[in-house]
Amino acid sequence: MSTVEELESEDNITEAEAVSTEQYLTFIMEEEEYGVDILAVQEIRGWESATPVPNSPDYIKGVINLRGTIVPIMDLRGRFELTKPEYGPETVVIVLKIEFEKGSRIMGIIVDAISDVYDVPIDDIKRTGFGDNQNARFIKGLVTVNKHMVILLKLEQFLTFD
């Protein structure tokens, strides 16, 4: 288990101080880099087995005990209908506290590996149409960091367990 602070790399912070920026924690999945709002991240922990919940979608790996609270764990690969993952030593769970109209919920997402923390100027986030891409609703926008693309996720969309 490592903390967010350790992951913060200084070279990214200097870039845009004047413009309003948002910080994103990024992780790797299927060679692509995805980002989540760092303010929603509660902690990052290693993958350990969860209690499966019957009659739930396949991408819900189960529930874990997070200091007395029951927290569902979602496999993001499963949610995006990517290939089945191999859980290895780098597999981590990002515990997110997702705010929505009626309050907030805590959820863990399983990702391949944590990558970095970036400051993203809000104006640089590009909203692109994705046609009938099923996963488009999870995507807030795209941003280019160090010449490669980062996909920023819209977290509240993950709360609909359909």
Partner 1 sequence: MSIDLSQFHQVFYEESYEGLDAMEQGLLEMDVEAPDDEVINTIFRAAHSIKGGSGTFGFNQVAEFTHVVETLLDEVRSGDRAMNQSIMDLLLVSVDCIRSLLQDLQAGDDPDLTQATDLKSQFEAILNGESASSESVGEVNSEDNTAEPIANEGGGKGYKIHFVPEETLLQTGNEPTRMFRQLAEVSDDCIEVSANLERLPSLTAMNPEHCYLAWDITINKAIDRSEIDEVFEWVIDDAEVVITEFDLSDSTIEEQASEQIEEPIAQAVSSEVESIAPEPAADKAPVENTAEKEPAKAKAKAKASTPESSSIRVSIDKVDSLINMVGELVITQSMLGQLGQNFDITRVQRLQEGLAQLEHNTRELQESVMKIRMMPISFVFSRFPRLVRDVSRTLDKKIDLVLSGENTELDKTVMEKIGDPMVHLIRNSIDHGIEMPDVRIAAGKPETGTVELNAFHQSGNIVIEIKDDGAGLNKERIQQKAIENGLIDESTTLADEQIFDLIFQPGFSTADAVSDLSGRGVGMDVVRRNIASLNGSIEVSSETGKGSRFVIRLPLTLAILDGQLVKVGEEIFIFPLVSIVESIQMDDTAINNVGGHSDVLQLRDEYVPIVQLHEIFSVNKDEPPADDNIVVVVETDGEKVGVVVDELLGQQQVVIKSLEENFKKVEGISGATILGDGTVALIVDVSGLSKMSGTSIKQIDSAHKAA
Comparison of 64 and 120: residue with beta carbon closer to partner 1: 64
In the complex, minimum distance from the CB of residue 110 to partner 1, in angstroms, rounded to a whole number: 15
**Spatial separation of the C-alpha atoms in residues 99 and 54, rounded to whole Å:** 26
Instruction: Considering the complex, state which of residue 35 and residue 72 has its C-beta at the smaller distance from partner 1.
Output: 72
Residue 111 and residue 29 in contact, taking contact as beta carbons nearer than 8 Å: yes
Cβ 131 to partner 1 shortest distance, Å: 29
Nearest distance from C-beta of residue 35 to partner 1, angstroms:
23
Binding site for partner 1 (CB under 8 A): 50-56, 60, 62-65, 68-72, 105-107, 161
Nearer of residues 105 and 154 to partner 1, judged by Cβ: 105
Nearer to partner 1, 62 or 141 (CB): 62
> Least separation, in Å, of the C-beta of 50 and partner 1?
8
CB contact at 8 A, 106 and 66: yes
**HEC assignment per residue over the chain:** CCCHHHHCCHHHHCCCCCCCEEEEEEEEECCEEEEEEHHHEEEEEECCCCECCCCCCCCEEEEEEECCEEEEEEEHHHHCCCCCCCCCCCCEEEEEEEEECCEEEEEEEEECEEEEEEEEEHHHCECCCCCCCHHHHHEEEEEEECCEEEEEECHHHHHCCC
- Least distance from partner 1 to the Cβ atom of residue 107, Å: 6
65 versus 133: smaller Cβ distance to partner 1: 65
